[in-house]
Amino acid sequence: MNSFEPQSQDSMKRRFHQDKTTTQSTPFMSKPISINPNSNSTSGTAGRFPRFGLNVEDDLVSSVVPPVTVVLEGRSICQRISLDKHGSYHSLAMALRQMFVDGADSASDTDNLDLSNAIPGHLIAYEDMENDLLLAGDLSWKDFVRVAKRIRILPVKGNTRKVRRNE
């Protein structure tokens, strides 16, 4: 035997439908969203939620990218750098050189600077979201900014084999 009476089921259905219609009539967001690609406003939420049908704008996506930690192997103090402030690997290489090699001196030759020679004797790698260590420069810049969690600067190991001398 059913413990619900037919009259109470009808009233429950009525309440459910009334609650559903009042919930749908209330606005979801209090501020209107600007989807204008020419707008410079970063206060809107357009671009942050592409799965919800909103347009993705590169400026807004890059504005929510947190700074990454830069670890120079052998040093106990780390640096932080905002990748969204840089537009390419070249500008990242200049920033890393200024951080770890030149200091305040920015008059050095930066025309042919890239990640392979930004810090002499070191390789620049990064850890992605899955904690995999990968070589920086293999991805496109936008993908690198999206997945990089930590930048690690590793010393290049030289030829460690001892050379035999014939005497």
The structural domains of the chain, with segments of one domain joined by +, span 65-155
Confidence band, pLDDT 50/70/90 cuts, at residue 8: low
Mean per-residue pLDDT, 30-52? 47
Looking at the structure, give the CATH architecture of the domain made up of residues 65-155. Roll (3.10)
Confidence band, pLDDT 50/70/90 cuts, at residue 53: very low
Round the average pLDDT of the chain to a whole number and report it.
73
Determine the pLDDT at residue 1. 54
- The letter for the amino acid at 132 is D
Determine the pLDDT at residue 21. 53
pLDDT per position as a tens digit, 62-108: 557 789 999 999 888 899 999 989 999 999 999 999 998 876 555 55
Torsion on CA atoms 39, 40, 43, 49, rounded to nearest 10: 70
Q: CA angle 34-37-42, nearest 5°?
A: 55
Determine the pLDDT at residue 77. 87
CA distance 83 to 144: 9
pLDDT per position as a tens digit, 9-37: 666 566 656 655 555 544 444 444 444 44
CA distance 137 to 145: 11
Quick check: 127 pLDDT over 60?
A: yes
> Of 3-17, 39-53, 75-89, 149-163, which gets the smallest average pLDDT?
39-53
Question: Tokens representing 157?
Answer: 């190991």
Mention every residue, 6+ apart, whose C-beta is less than 8 A from residue 101: 118, 119, 120
Q: How many helices (H) and strands (E) does the chain have?
A: 4, 5
Considering only residues 32 and 148, tell me which one the structure prediction assigns the higher pLDDT.
Answer: 148
